[in-house]
Structure 1
Amino acid sequence: MTMRPLVALAMGDPAGISPELTAKLVALEDVRSRSRLVVIGDRRVFDEGARVAGIAPQLKTVEQDADFRKLDSDVLFVDLGHLDPAEIERGVPSLAGGRFALANYRHALELGRDGRVDAVCFTPFNKQAMRLARADYDDEIAFSADVVGLTAAASEFNVLGRLWNARVTSHIPLRDVASQLSSERIQRALALTDACMRKAGFARPRIAVAGLNPHAGDGGNFGREEIDVIAPAVMAGQRDGIAAEGPFPADTVFLRAKAGAFDAVLTMYHDQGQIAMKLMGFDRGVTLLGGFPFPICTPAHGTAYDIAGQGIAFAGASHAALLLAAEMAAAQTSQLDGRRASSATG
């Protein structure tokens, strides 16, 4: 019998919908049947989220240094005791809210880094609150790499069912995108996308590469990046055994991917892929941080300050994020066990 993976679930921004989403996830039967959860946060904030959601999920509070793998509960709670919900104004980013989310996420990452859990998931953060708490906060990738000690390449992926979106550049001004593109950087993005998708169960992921310019440059009429930079990277990826094609016009490539021609689209900048993915499934989209030694997932939407505290937040994307984290963790464990068995008999 395959053991259910342990997933650390870090509570996100307390002024938004994260507390009620966390409570709703804990109560879902398929989440409990496919994973074991270690929720990280403050029990008072969680209980308030459960009250807002109108549910009373069962979970066991445990010590921070507990051996989670030896405990038999489906849902464990690590109470950091660091925030009174009365201190938070709903719908308003704050220093206290940013500190709360950062502490929870750091603790979850440390559990993953130390092998005490198999995956990490977190409910939405608010970037403004995070920067109030940590002035040099850039994004989750940089913060996660710092905590985990990762020196290899990492990237953010958006996942919608079986369709992935990867990107070469991410959180930079649009005016800087063209100057940041190089064949080497695109090749690295292709290789990381291929590797992460294989870890997620794709035998040989088919990756479409989007152009940068309108109509993929129109043969050089609207720019030469496709000819001089992107196409050579695609050909290099093909030589390395990656099933990559392109560059294709960005305004039509997602139509082909949605129809099943490709498993992923590698875009050149953040919104080039985000707009398409969120239009196709805003309430189901997942953000995956790839390149880390364990899966890290979160819903692709934000903290929804406008509906916080109303009990109407839809848990679809958070649900998908948690299940993807559990699925990838189970697959990685199975692959590791297979390699160990092969080594033992070899």
Structure 2
Amino acid sequence: MTKKAIIAIPMGDPAGIGPEITVKALAKKEVFQAGKPFVIGDTAILNKAIALTGVNLKVNEVSSLEEAKYEFGTVDVISLNNVNTDSFSFGEIQAQCGQAAFEYIKEAVTLANEGKADVIATTPINKESLKAANVPHIGHTEMLADMTNTPDPLTMFQVRNMRIFFLTRHLSLKDAIAAMTKERVHDYLKRCDEALQRLGVTTRKFAVAGLNPHSGENGLFGREEVDEIAPGIELAVKDGIDAVGPVPADSVFHQALQGKYDAVLSLYHDQGHIAAKMTDFEKTVSITNGLPFLRTSVDHGTAFDIAGKGIASSVSMEECIKMAAEYAPHFTK
């Protein structure tokens, strides 16, 4: 019998929907059947989330994972007690919440680095709250990169059978296009192939999305495909990577869903985000590759407009935890 993965869940920004979707997800039996989840957060906020959502859960506050029960009906939590509930409000940007979210992630990384947690499944954090707390990172990926000395982590989305990697992430379109060099395409295809190997994926046929309409029509609508993208793919093929392209972006993601490709390399942030979220917004899961440990994440924000109302869907969180458990046995340091 395969050993269940121990899954660390940092609670996210306390003022967002992270606490609510966490307790909702942990109220599903199939989540505990998949793995052994525990939360890093704040007991008082989790109890508020349980009351708001009406789920049948009890909080088991522990000081170490040896005290965790990992039992359905119980939420094991390492509580950092770092939220002042007297001044706390759901749905608002608060420095204390940005700081708290940062500390939850830092504790999760520590546990993963020590081998006590097998994988981290993250909930939403808020960029403005982080800024208010003077946290020197814009998001999860940047935090994790800094905490683990990983220079350039790979982001991968998975929805259904489609996997999407990103050549560039948080750049303006102008800067992203400037970064689409043949050297970068070559390097990323090699790293994407290594990432899928580490996740236990045995067939790894890549398609690289095109940038311009119809992939530029051999330079008629732009030279990027001709001058940089196609040469980068050719270099990767010479290294033994099974890659094709550039394939027009208006068809490549559909073809991947049909099983023609095992993964698509998206050239910029929204190109891949739109494709994944239009396929199934709630079941899109983000995976960060290249870290010393596996990290999965929901692919939505803190949703301050509905936070504290108990109505947020936990489907993405459930998928995030289950995918963490699925890939964990293949992921070795």
**What is the TM-score with the length of structure 2 in the denominator?**
0.94
Contact 2:98/2:135 (CA < 8 Å) preserved in 1? Answer: no
Are the structure 2 counterparts of residues 187 and 127 from structure 1 closer, same or farther at C-alpha, using a change threshold of 3 Å?
same
Query: What root-mean-square deviation, in Å, do the aligned CA atoms of Structure 1 and Structure 2 show?
Result: 1.7
Are the structure 2 counterparts of residues 139 and 150 from structure 1 closer, same or farther at C-alpha, using a change threshold of 3 Å?
same
For residue 260 of structure 1, give the secondary structure of its aligned residue in structure 2.
coil
1:181 aligns to 2:165 (yes or no): no
What's the offset of the Cα at 1:56? Answer: 3.0
CA distance in 2, matches of 1:284, 1:180: 30
Contact 1:9/1:120 (CA < 8 Å) preserved in 2? Answer: yes
- Gapped regions of structure 2 (runs ≥ 5): none
For residue 307 of structure 1, give the secondary structure of its aligned residue in structure 2.
coil
What's the offset of the Cα at 1:60? Answer: 2.3
Contact 1:204/1:243 (CA < 8 Å) preserved in 2? Answer: no
Q: Which moved more, 1:295-304 or 1:185-194?
A: 185-194
CA distance in 2, matches of 1:54, 1:85: 20
One-letter amino acid matched to 2:286: T
Contact 2:10/2:104 (CA < 8 Å) preserved in 1? Answer: yes
1:60 aligns to 2:60 (yes or no): yes
For residue 256 of structure 2, give the secondary structure of its aligned residue in structure 1.
helix
For residue 319 of structure 1, give the secondary structure of its aligned residue in structure 2.
helix
Aligned match of 1:132: 132
CA distance in 1, matches of 2:299, 2:200: 21
Deviation string 1:239-273 (CA, Å, 9 cap, x unpaired) is: 22222110011122112112221121111110011
For residue 305 of structure 1, give the secondary structure of its aligned residue in structure 2.
coil
1:190 aligns to 2:189 (yes or no): yes
Aligned match of 1:216: 215
CA distance in 2, matches of 1:162, 1:57: 33
Are the structure 2 counterparts of residues 5 and 100 from structure 1 closer, same or farther at C-alpha, using a change threshold of 3 Å?
same
Deviation string 1:190-240 (CA, Å, 9 cap, x unpaired) is: 122222222333202221101122211111012111111111111222222
Contact 2:43/2:59 (CA < 8 Å) preserved in 1? Answer: no
For residue 116 of structure 1, give the secondary structure of its aligned residue in structure 2.
coil
For residue 40 of structure 2, give the secondary structure of its aligned residue in structure 1.
strand
One-letter amino acid matched to 1:127: K
What's the offset of the Cα at 1:15? Answer: 1.6
Contact 2:215/2:248 (CA < 8 Å) preserved in 1? Answer: yes
Aligned match of 1:302: 301
Contact 1:294/1:329 (CA < 8 Å) preserved in 2? Answer: no
Runs of 4+ deviating beyond 6 Å = none
Aligned length: 330
Aligned match of 1:171: 170
What's the offset of the Cα at 1:33? Answer: 1.6
Aligned match of 1:322: 321
Contact 1:16/1:304 (CA < 8 Å) preserved in 2? Answer: yes
CA distance in 1, matches of 2:205, 2:174: 30
Q: Which moved more, 1:85-94 or 1:251-260?
A: 85-94
Deviation string 1:134-184 (CA, Å, 9 cap, x unpaired) is: 353233222112112334x41211111221111111101112122112112
What's the offset of the Cα at 1:2? Answer: 2.1
1:237 aligns to 2:236 (yes or no): yes
Aligned match of 2:12: 12
Aligned match of 1:246: 245
CA distance in 1, matches of 2:110, 2:201: 28
Contact 1:208/1:246 (CA < 8 Å) preserved in 2? Answer: yes
CA distance in 1, matches of 2:70, 2:136: 38
CA distance in 2, matches of 1:228, 1:171: 23
Aligned match of 1:201: 200
What's the offset of the Cα at 1:127? Answer: 1.4
Identity of aligned residues (%): 34
- Gapped regions of structure 1 (runs ≥ 5): 337-346
